[in-house]
């Protein structure tokens, strides 16, 4: 059994991850943390997740959790994620990162930490979305600049970053298919008199509302036709299941920075 710790275990994803581990016959819950002062510290992590109480009390000492865990899963916030990556490197504990909204600097800190441990990062741990990433790269490579690429996403009203990490990853996939740098063609926001659409741009549009778990569509629009690739997540459980699968995969792996493509064998 792999002993897995969950940092941010009282969050929406944290609770899903705790119950996924409680239902797994390959993993046990090593413990969970929330920041010091959180009202969840001292509560039973499994009971909070709606499972049978497991006698695992939520703590606020991340270092202690890394010390007793074989691997840790982190779906928190960017600032907490880089702190957890440094702890993973110090303790040699594998780390699975699902946090989105990470900056270039955050990513480079994750990659530095991955020199001393195993880090798996994905903006979206669903298998369907990772298939969509592969298809987007392929279709973008086949259809030329006559087809304008637009990426549309919708998420629940609580989401704090935009465009979603998955939408940006889809943009990266489309740009890779076209052999261009996303940074130089991305149109992340349009407002007011924007002028006509530049050929080769990759546009993003963001919708927020209700309890939508995560919808993503990549559109390829020419004068004559439109191709749309769509994925809709029905439950957060899909991300938790993918993150657990990724975490179990880290066992015995060489230090390094990995993505879902490595785990699913799409690379």
The active-site residue, picked from 84, 155, 216, 231, is 155
Ramachandran angles phi, psi of 135, nearest 5°? -65, -40
Structure tokens at 198: 């530049």
Q: Does the footprint of ligand NAD cover residue 59 (CB under 6 A)?
A: no
> Active-site residue 159, yes or no?
yes
Q: Minimum Å distance from CB 196 to ligand NAD?
A: 33
Question: Are the C-beta atoms of residues 242 and 104 closer than 8 Å to each other?
Answer: no
CA distances from 195 to 10, 147, 183, 184, 204 (A): 45, 18, 19, 17, 16
The active-site residue, picked from 159, 216, 231, 232, is 159
Residue 123 burial by Cβ neighbours in a 10 Å radius (0-12, 13-18, 19+): buried
Answer for which of 5, 8, 31, 163 binds ligand NAD (CB under 6 A) is: 8
Nearest to 154 by CA among 164, 141, 140: 164
101 vs 134 by CB, closer to ligand NAD: 101
Answer for which of 2, 6, 13, 143 binds ligand NAD (CB under 6 A) is: 13
Residue 27 burial by Cβ neighbours in a 10 Å radius (0-12, 13-18, 19+): buried
49 vs 185 by CB, closer to ligand NAD: 49
Which H/E stretch holds residue 71?
Answer: strand 71-74
- Which residue's beta carbon is nearest to the bound ligand NAD? 11
143 vs 250 by CB, closer to ligand NAD: 250
12 vs 226 by CB, closer to ligand NAD: 12
Q: Does the footprint of ligand NAD cover residue 76 (CB under 6 A)?
A: yes
Nearest to 174 by CA among 203, 206, 196: 203
20 vs 34 by CB, closer to ligand NAD: 34
Nearest to 168 by CA among 224, 262, 102, 112: 102
CA distances from 157 to 10, 43, 49, 212, 249 (A): 19, 27, 21, 8, 33
92 to 121: interface string for ligand NAD, x by CB under 6 A: ------xxxx--------------------
Q: Minimum Å distance from CB 162 to ligand NAD?
A: 10
Q: Does the footprint of ligand NAD cover residue 125 (CB under 6 A)?
A: yes
Q: Does the footprint of ligand NAD cover residue 128 (CB under 6 A)?
A: no
Q: Does the footprint of ligand NAD cover residue 43 (CB under 6 A)?
A: no
**Which residues, at least 6 apart from 224, have a Cβ–Cβ distance to it below 8 Å?**
none
Answer for which of 80, 131, 221, 227 binds ligand NAD (CB under 6 A) is: 80
Q: Give the residue numbers marked as catalytic.
A: 155, 159
User: Which residues would be at the binding site for ligand NAD (CB under 6 A)?
Assistant: 7-8, 10-14, 33-35, 38, 62, 75-77, 80, 98-101, 122-125, 239
């Amino acid at each position: 059994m792999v002993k897995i710790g969950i940092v941010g275990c009282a969050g929406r994803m944290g609770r899903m991850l705790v119950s996924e581990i409680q239902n797994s016959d390959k993993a046990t819950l090593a413990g969970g943390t929330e920041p010091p002062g959180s009202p969840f510290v001292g509560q039973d992590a499994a009971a909070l997740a709606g499972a049978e109480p497991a006698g695992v009390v939520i703590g606020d000492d991340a270092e202690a959790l890394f010390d007793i865990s074989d691997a840790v899963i982190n779906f928190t916030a960017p600032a907490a994620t880089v702190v957890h990556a440094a702890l993973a490197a110090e303790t040699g504990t594998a780390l699975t990162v699902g946090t989105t909204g990470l900056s270039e600097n955050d990513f480079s800190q994750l990659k530095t930490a991955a020199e001393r441990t195993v880090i798996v990062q994905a903006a979206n741990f669903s298998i369907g979305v990772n298939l969509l990433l592969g298809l987007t790269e392929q279709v973008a490579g086949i259809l030329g600049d006559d087809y304008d690429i637009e990426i549309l996403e919708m998420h629940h009203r609580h989401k704090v970053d935009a465009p979603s990490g998955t939408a940006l990853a889809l943009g990266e996939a489309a740009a890779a298919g076209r052999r261009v740098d996303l940074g130089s063609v991305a149109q992340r926001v349009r407002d007011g008199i924007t002028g006509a659409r530049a050929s080769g741009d990759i546009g993003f549009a963001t919708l927020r509302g209700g309890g939508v778990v995560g919808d993503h569509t990549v559109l390829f629009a020419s004068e004559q036709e439109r191709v749309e690739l769509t994925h809709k997540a029905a439950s957060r459980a899909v991300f938790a299941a993918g993150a657990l699968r990724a975490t179990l995969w880290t066992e015995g792996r060489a230090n390094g920075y990995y993505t879902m493509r490595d785990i699913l064998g799409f690379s």
